[in-house]
Amino acid sequence: MKKILTALLIIGMTFTSNCYAISLIKDKPASEQIQDNPKSQQSRALYAQNDIDKALELLEQIPEDERSAQDWLLIGNIMQDKEEIDKALYMFNKSAQKEPKFYKPHYNMGYIYLSKNQPNMALEEFKLAVKYKNDFSYGYYNIGCVYLKLKKYSQARYNFFRSLSLRANEPDVYYNIAYTYKMQNKEKQAQTYLDLYNQMMENHEL
């Protein structure tokens, strides 16, 4: 559990970024629940049971031109699980090509680019994710994380507030808002959001 940081700003100790990108999306989109290949359904069930090799075997039996965007997404998730990052990126790209306004492959590519320390490429993908799903809290959160990495604190804070407006129960959002204020020498505002962060962490520990 994260340490309580109530007095941190007041006594001038080091205040560090706590921004960890939220990981890959692996759930099934509602739009694909009606039209679905039986092998796709079975592969998702196997993947949920952590039998990724059998899931991949089934997916590879589906001809490429018949694979849905979700099929390509799941193959990308499997490649990611196998730590075959370049293959994962290729599969996520195929998913996005199959369904251009499908936000999940863009989000997943953004996560990979950010983990590979390619923030500008990550930012491009995360922006596409929220373009295609404008109520996507985690998308805005990760955009904020990218801007923190780029030391663009106002842009980071704006996106953290967008995330907060959609999902208010994530303590790290409050912490990172506090951090952006601190980095711009706005001590009072920073302390306000740090206090909110600590209150949430205390409630989680009860």
What pLDDT, in 10s, does the model give residues 10-46?
Answer: 333 345 566 666 666 655 443 444 357 899 999 999 9
Amino acid at 68: S
* pLDDT value for 203: 81
If one counts every other C-beta atom within 10 angstroms of the C-beta of residue 94, the result is: 18
Distance of CA 152 to the CA centre of its chain: 19
Residue 174 structure tokens: 């409050």
Containing 143, the helix (H) or strand (E) segment is helix 137-149
Percent of the chain scored above 70 by pLDDT?
A: 82
What pLDDT, in 10s, does the model give residues 71-109?
Answer: 999 999 999 999 999 999 999 999 999 999 999 999 999
Could you tell me the fold of the domain covering 39-92? 1.25.40
- Inter-residue contact 116 to 85 (CB < 8 Å): yes
pTM for this entry: 0.85
pLDDT of 184 > 80? The answer is yes
Amino acid at 142: N
